[in-house]
Amino acid sequence: MKHNFGAGPCILPKEVFQQASEAVIDFNNTGLSILEISHRSKEFEAVIDEATQLVRELLAVPQGYSILFLQGGASLQFAMAPLNLLPEGGKAAYLDTGVWATKALKEAKKFGTVDVVASSIDKNYAYIPKGYSIPKDAAYFHYTANNTIYGTEVFERPATDLPVVVDMSSDIFSREINVADYDLIYAGAQKNMGPAGVTLVIVKDDILGKSGRVLPSMLDYQLHINGGSMYNTPPVYSIFVSMLNLRWLKAKGGVAVLEQENIIKARALYDEIDRNPFFKGTAAIEDRSRMNVTFVMDSPELEAEFLALAKERNLIGIKGHRSVGGFRASIYNALPLSSVNALIDAMKEFEDTHQ
Ligand code: PLP
């Protein structure tokens, strides 16, 4: 059995892949593939309705919020958020916690003034800045909840009275959140929700229509709301597989149950990193991500040796991102505790054979 610690795209339970593959040949005994049925058919309408309902239920999305399945990835949201929320000549506040936050704020700068309230670039984004102040005259405050590359996570929504926009691409559905704390949540699907190609957007209806901008249709949230995420041909397969995965999540007991499992998995791995003299974590302890665990060794040859052992033990995708080096173990919802234990066993074995 392979243990997939890859950061994406699309780490889902095997049973979801099994159901997804069956529907490519024969979707619900229609004799047709899910890929060929009309996206306007009642069969596909049932899929998108169920996917929407599952998001609403699993995250307890309150009334007054719309749920959208869009294309363009989280990267398109970097532009769509300011276009929809920032008036011409307006200002937005951004917290800079890494590559994705930087990309988001660079896009916003194309449409107005950006106030970077704090940045952790001084320590290669190994921590989450605290104690910054957010200007009261900004149109919104944007932050990245989980920094996939650096292994840091913001667990509590920063305190502000401004509308809050959050990129939850790599931690949505991994822990309970209070949707009412946010005005716009977006997430590329491809970590805990489904395959690449669909982006989840949860938007508070009454923040829209205030930027005064003339928007291209595809970049206008309101138009997508009016069209029920079907203004144009939606990414049917990505939505379908996301729906299957959300069913799996619900059957497991929902986000609260997954959160407990994720806490146990992350704690076990961080405990071993802290105990084992060959490894050390790269993120500030209080900001450690439960989704992406980043760690290094003292010497590069040892890292190559550990990677070789990991390969032998079927531990896939643990090489760190080039901007941090070392290792990154992504421990998304679909990765079982037994896989985390397999990695811990390999770390112990390495220690035993290198004393
Ligand atoms: N934001 C975060 C936190 C990410 O981890 C990623 C990709 O890994 C992105 C944004 C970019 O997402 P996409 O490739 O869907 O544009």
Q: What is the pLDDT of residues 71-102, one digit of tens each?
A: 999 999 999 999 999 999 999 999 999 999 99
* Pairing mode, strands 146-147 and 141-144: unpaired
Task: Say which of 96, 100, 204, 265 is annotated catalytic.
Answer: 100
The residue whose CA is least distant from atom 12 of ligand 1 is: 74
Identify whether residues 218 and 231 lie together within a single domain: yes
Residues contacting residue 128 through CB under 8 Å, at least 6 positions apart: 97, 120, 152, 153, 154, 284, 287
CATH value at residue 225: 3.40.640.10
The residue whose CA is least distant from atom 5 of ligand 1 is: 148
∠ at Cα 22 (21, 25), nearest 5°?
100
Identify whether residues 22 and 123 lie together within a single domain: yes
Contact 211, 86 (CB under 8 A): yes
CB environment 187-214: b (16+ within 10 A), e (fewer): bbbbbbbbbebbbbbbbbeebbeebebe
Mean pLDDT of the chain, nearest integer: 96
* Dihedral Cα 186, 117, 324, 193, nearest 10 deg: -10
Nearest ligand 1 atom, CA 149 = 5
Contact 262, 334 (CB under 8 A): no
Residue 190 has pLDDT above 90, yes or no: no
How many structural domains compose the chain?
2
Task: Say which of 171, 183, 191, 287 is annotated catalytic.
Answer: 191
Residues 141-150: tens digit of each pLDDT: 999 999 999 9
Identify whether residues 302 and 333 lie together within a single domain: yes
Q: What's the gap in Å between 78 CA and the centre of ligand 1?
A: 10
Look at residues 252, 270, 301 and tell me which one is the last residue of a structural domain: 252
Residue 8 has pLDDT above 90, yes or no: no
Torsions phi, psi of 145, nearest 5?
Answer: -70, -40
In the residue annotation, 250 being an active-site residue is answered as no
Structural domain of 232: 14-252
Cα distance between residue 176 and residue 292, in whole Å: 17
Residues 194-237: tens digit of each pLDDT: 999 999 999 999 999 999 999 999 999 999 999 999 999 999 99
In the residue annotation, 191 being an active-site residue is answered as yes
Q: What's the gap in Å between 180 CA and the centre of ligand 1?
A: 23
Identify whether residues 28 and 55 lie together within a single domain: yes
Asked if the structure places residue 5 within a domain, the reply is no
Whether this prediction's pTM lies above 0.90 is answered by yes
Asked if the structure places residue 104 within a domain, the reply is yes
- Of the pLDDT bands very low, low, confident and very high (cuts 50, 70, 90), residue 299 is confident
Asked if the structure places residue 3 within a domain, the reply is no
State what percent of residues in the chain have pLDDT above 70. 100
